[in-house]
Structure 1
Amino acid sequence: MKVRVEIDDSLTDKEIVIKAPKYDAEVAQLYDAISRQSAKVQSLVFYKGDSEYYLSLDDVLFFETVDRQVHAHTVANEYAIHHRLYELEMMLTGQFMRISKSAIINLGNVFSLTRSVSSVVVKFKNSSKQVYVSRRYYKPLKDRLERRG
């Protein structure tokens, strides 16, 4: 089976097409897996106070665990989310990446990496928010950022 990604700036939404000589068990399984994954990602609910919010994942800068609660950070706000980081890591593919035991970032919103003797800090576009990268994740993060641009 070949896997290919095509980038088309004229598209407004993502589309997945499965091309096969016939509809068989493998195609059905692949279709079901993609459909389930897409439904999971689209069903993320963000909570703040008594309200539920349905945000675009593009607006999320990063997810972070603080005191056993996972928070989603946007440029202006912070929301609680009722998923564990390991669940989010499985649900969010492509533009998201784990960078420490307690954080997953949106690679599309990364502005800079600042490296010092003791740490690496990720800074985000149009925001003063930042998050630390574990040494273990620095090289894979740097590689992913270089490939994207």
Structure 2
Amino acid sequence: MKVRIEKIRDNQEEESALIRVVKVNETINRAVELLKNPQNTVIVQNINSGANEKVYLDEVMYVEYLERNIFLYTKSESYCLRTSLTKFMETYASVFIQIKKNLALNCYFVHSFATNRSGSLVVILATGEKLVVSRRYVKKLKESLSKLADTGYE
């Protein structure tokens, strides 16, 4: 598939996307949903600077619920959002999958996964970071990754 990106001047032209395909599949539908959906960003507080910033959810590798706050982790920054994990997951379930009681993962950052000596599942992110998956969430994670892989090749 050929991809062409054309950069436009700030606010002088409206952003747009043209998708030319032979067959519309789940991957194309997801891409369209991400382009149309205004909820693909969230306003959060930067942990280091304290400034409020707009973060694109496709840049967030995983989120963690600690002390009544959601902490969002990207490759380079950490952010804080005051909400519950339940509310966060209700809003952003199309992007994240829960892997522990207090942890949700962006499946697009999964590089690989393996079982460790104790039998639990370890997810290795594209950055090399490792996250342990609770046994309760292993089946759901494998199903989500399998579905993601299947839709990518229709």
Mapping 1:134-149, distance limit 5 Å = 134-149=134-149
- Aligned counterparts of 1:6 and 1:90: Cα–Cα separation in 2: 21
Deviation, 1:74, is 0.6
Deviation, 1:115, is 1.0
Aligned length: 122
Mapping 1:106-125, distance limit 5 Å = 106-118=106-118, 119-125=120-126
Could you report, residue by residue, the CA deviation over 1:95-147 in whole angstroms, capped at 9, with x for unpaired residues?
3111110101101111111211322222211x133322110100110111112
Give the structure-2-normalised TM-score.
0.67
CA contact (8 A) 2:113 2:121 kept: yes
**Tell me, what secondary structure is at the counterpart of 1:7?**
helix
Alignment-derived partner of residue 35 in structure 1: none
Give the structure-1-normalised TM-score.
0.69
**Tell me, what secondary structure is at the counterpart of 1:104?**
strand
- Aligned counterparts of 1:54 and 1:15: Cα–Cα separation in 2: 16
Alignment-derived partner of residue 61 in structure 1: 61
**Tell me, what secondary structure is at the counterpart of 2:87?**
helix
**Tell me, what secondary structure is at the counterpart of 2:27?**
coil
Q: Aligned AA for 2:43?
A: V
Change (3 A) 1:82 1:69: closer
Alignment-derived partner of residue 21 in structure 2: none
- Aligned counterparts of 1:139 and 1:117: Cα–Cα separation in 2: 19
Mapping 1:73-112, distance limit 5 Å = 73-112=73-112
Deviation, 1:93, is 2.3
**Tell me, what secondary structure is at the counterpart of 1:55?**
strand
Q: Aligned AA for 1:148?
A: L
**Tell me, what secondary structure is at the counterpart of 1:8?**
helix
- How many percent of aligned residue pairs carry the same amino acid? 23
- Aligned counterparts of 2:132 and 2:104: Cα–Cα separation in 1: 10
- Aligned counterparts of 1:53 and 1:74: Cα–Cα separation in 2: 13
Stretches of structure 2 lacking an aligned partner (at least 5 in a row)? 1-23, 150-154
Alignment-derived partner of residue 70 in structure 1: 70
Stretches of structure 1 lacking an aligned partner (at least 5 in a row)? 17-37
**Mean alpha-carbon deviation: is it higher for 133-142 or for 116-125?**
116-125
